Amino acid sequence: MLAVMSPGPDFAMVLRNSLIYSRRTGVLAALGLGLGIALHITYSLLGIGLIISKSIVLFNIIKYLGAAYLIYIGIKSLRAKPERQTNEQGEVAHKEDISAFAAIRMGFLTNALNPKATMFFLALFTQVISPATPIIIKLAYGLEMSTATFLWFSFVAVLLTQNRLQKAFRRFRHYIERTFGVILIALGLKVAFTSHK
């Protein structure tokens, strides 16, 4: 849970999607993050994580794809413009939501392309799993980690989409989106300079 709750690309992505789009999009992005965790766990259990950790080429491919994705989303956010549409009460209208698939994909790619997650799960699993560990225990570990990720980030999305907060953020949505753009670009650059060791 401490690893899940620590600030990073996952947290920034759920914050952005919840504040800019909707609770639904934030929760779906959280589901994508949970699926990303499941991917890391699967290849760690299969032993591929060890291969990735020993191969500078594979590590760098994942690293640069992850960095490029975060920077891409960051640039899209930086280009946000003020919304001029208003509803009948004169309030700024909600930004058009993205599809369920797009929200899940965004969460999944943010986590799946994070090389730090690869190193984290490999280090964690070598401490708690041995060749003698029953497969059911391994699956239970994986399910627990994926579920914890989904639940935590869903909680964050629900918390941030309370009506009072949404009304306060709505007027400044494009500034918030641009701020998250800068944060995501910075995180992308941080990922790009992640060391293999």
pLDDT number for residue 106: 92
Q: Which of 146, 128, 148 is nearest to 34 (CA)?
A: 146
pTM, entire model: 0.73
Cβ within 8 Å of residue 22, ≥6 positions away? 94, 97, 161
Low-confidence ranges of the chain (pLDDT < 70): 1-3, 48-50, 52-53, 80-95, 126-128, 130-131, 168-174, 194-197
DSSP code of residue 98 = P
155 within 8 A of 4, measured Cβ to Cβ: no
177 within 8 A of 67, measured Cβ to Cβ: no
Residue 103, class by beta-carbon neighbours within 10 Å (0-12 exposed, 13-18 middle, 19+ buried)? buried
What's the start-to-end Cα distance of the chain, in Å? 24
pLDDT number for residue 134: 83
* Alpha-carbon dihedral 14, 17, 19, 23, rounded to 10 degrees: -90
35 within 8 A of 175, measured Cβ to Cβ: no
What confidence tens digit (pLDDT) does each residue in 144-185 have?
889 999 999 999 999 888 877 777 666 666 677 778 778 878
pLDDT number for residue 101: 95
